[in-house]
Amino acid sequence: MTATDNAHDIFEDEDAYAAERDTTEGKVYTVTGGDWDEMVAAVDPVNDERLIVNLGPQHPSTHGVLRLVCEMEGETVRSVRPVIGYLHTGIEKNLEYRTWTQGCTFVTRADYLAPIFNETGYCLAVEKLLDIEVPKRANTIRVIMMELNRISSHLVALATTGMELGALSMMIYGFRDREKILDIFEAVCGLRMNMAYVRPGGVSQDIPAEAVGMIRDFVDYMPQGLDDYEGLLTGNAIWQERTQGVGYLDVSGCLAMGVTGPVLRSAGLGWDLRKTMPYCGYEEYDFDVPTHNGADAWARYVIRLAEIRESLKIISQGLDKLEPGPVMVADKKIAWPAQLATGADGMGNSLNHIRHIMSQSMEALIHHFKLVTEGFRVPAGQVYTAIESPRGELGIHAVSDGGTRPFRVHMREPSFVNLQALPALAEGGLLADVIAGGASLDPVMGGCDR
């Protein structure tokens, strides 16, 4: 009986959560967990040789609202078709209706595990269009914040991979230590995620002394945490079995599919934009680019752990480089006029600035109003800037028509591009390895769908 025959039957006669019905495509089973055995019993092993299994979009193991349509032959996956778009929020379109500065609050919400990278990539593009250079201190703060963010993103990658492969302790530890970084972000700019902290021309406010102390404590703390993870996972036979030789993608496969970041480095190519095309002064830092020749999920796990150690090195050097100075360009035509300060209730306005514009200088008030409501004009043209996000090359293609709003901003999101490679590394393997392989790509659907 099909649903169109007698629409009310589906509510009266059938269990809507474990239904079985015939369609033009064949027999459809709806399985929601515990009734798997019933479905297996119902499947005719002779005639139903190939089974289409639909995973997601609401599924705890698909790493976000990702839908995977798998064609199965027994336990073997014959084809995987990722279906995306469930988290499409129109960020690029929205940017065209806001000022260049307001754009920060939109791009930061794309890849929500790496907000500082989205902001920095976007701001580097705006700054290139404006042809301005940010002060040294702002650059150093950006580097410190990006590396902290890289660690927090890699911790979530380890945590969720652990969760999806059954290593639940890893999830608890990963999120526990990420929390410490979010606390630092909160101390720096008042927000834990989606901070819009990096702004065209610099950063929204200086890094407080308290936060510097917290970062130093974290740099001292984290190596022990990494040793713990290694103790937990590296020697673990189950972890090795689930990841070694799983999700194989070599360098030529990566380049063909456009895969960058830890996945490319796990295949042996040490391509890291921080080294190969430096930005934000990364050429002044001493760090290594870890590579591996495994090209599998195990190699990506090893690479991410090693990258956290390298990030810690960069952060320590960044703290040593922090010298007093401005954190926003001196050009008052571009610099955000409202000085922000971290108060008891998070990020807020500086009372000194409010006193200045409200009771001392009419011109300052006009200037503030014009720059905040209208924004600054950006000379016409187009640029492409790329930075090394935790997932690979994050590119921003920004086009200006000379106005106060972006004409077009396109985010080349590594999650979006890398996810294309999932069929290449999962087809022919087992269904369980689709999960391990997908987790090792570490896609973030907020970035993928934008």
Partner 1 sequence: MSDGEIQPVGQEAQGLFGVSGSGDTSGFGGLVNQSPSAAPLVSTPAPLGEYFDEVVDSLQQLLGDDIARAVIVDRGELTIHVAPDRVADVCQSMRDDENLRFELCSSVSGVDYPEQANRLHVVYHLTSMTYRRRVRLETAVSLDHPVVASVTAVYPTADWQEREAYDMFGVVFEGHPHLTRILMPDDWEGYPQRKDYPLGGIAVEYKGAHIPPPDERRAYK
Of the two residues 214 and 329, which places its CB atom closer to partner 1 in the complex? 329
Residues near partner 1 (CB under 8 A): 84-85, 88, 90, 92-94, 96-98, 128-129, 131, 255-260, 269, 271, 276-277, 332-333, 366-367, 370, 373-377, 379-384, 386, 393, 395, 397, 399-405, 407-408, 410, 412, 416-417, 419-420, 449-450
Q: How far is the CB of 410 from partner 1 (least distance, A)?
A: 4
| Cα–Cα distance for residue pair 128/116, rounded to 1 Å | 18
| DSSP calls for 261-329 | THHHHHTT----HHHHS--TTGGGS-------S--SHHHHHHHHHHHHHHHHHHHHHHHHH--S--SB-
Q: How far is the CB of 402 from partner 1 (least distance, A)?
A: 4
Q: How far is the CB of 205 from partner 1 (least distance, A)?
A: 24
Of the two residues 36 and 97, which places its CB atom closer to partner 1 in the complex? 97
Of the two residues 145 and 448, which places its CB atom closer to partner 1 in the complex? 448
Helix (H) or strand (E) holding 83: strand 76-83
Q: How far is the CB of 257 from partner 1 (least distance, A)?
A: 5
Q: How far is the CB of 270 from partner 1 (least distance, A)?
A: 10
Q: At what angle do helices 136-164 and 297-321 cross, to 10 degrees?
A: 150
Of the two residues 216 and 332, which places its CB atom closer to partner 1 in the complex? 332
Of the two residues 386 and 444, which places its CB atom closer to partner 1 in the complex? 386
| Cα–Cα distance for residue pair 40/9, rounded to 1 Å | 24
Of the two residues 356 and 377, which places its CB atom closer to partner 1 in the complex? 377
| Cα–Cα distance for residue pair 407/409, rounded to 1 Å | 7
Q: Give one word for 169, left, alpha or beta, with left for phi > 0 and alpha for psi -120 to 50.
A: alpha
Q: How far is the CB of 427 from partner 1 (least distance, A)?
A: 14
| Cα–Cα distance for residue pair 83/436, rounded to 1 Å | 18
| Cα–Cα distance for residue pair 288/280, rounded to 1 Å | 17
Of the two residues 96 and 284, which places its CB atom closer to partner 1 in the complex? 96
Q: Residue 408: phi, psi to the nearest 5?
A: -165, 135
Q: How far is the CB of 170 from partner 1 (least distance, A)?
A: 30
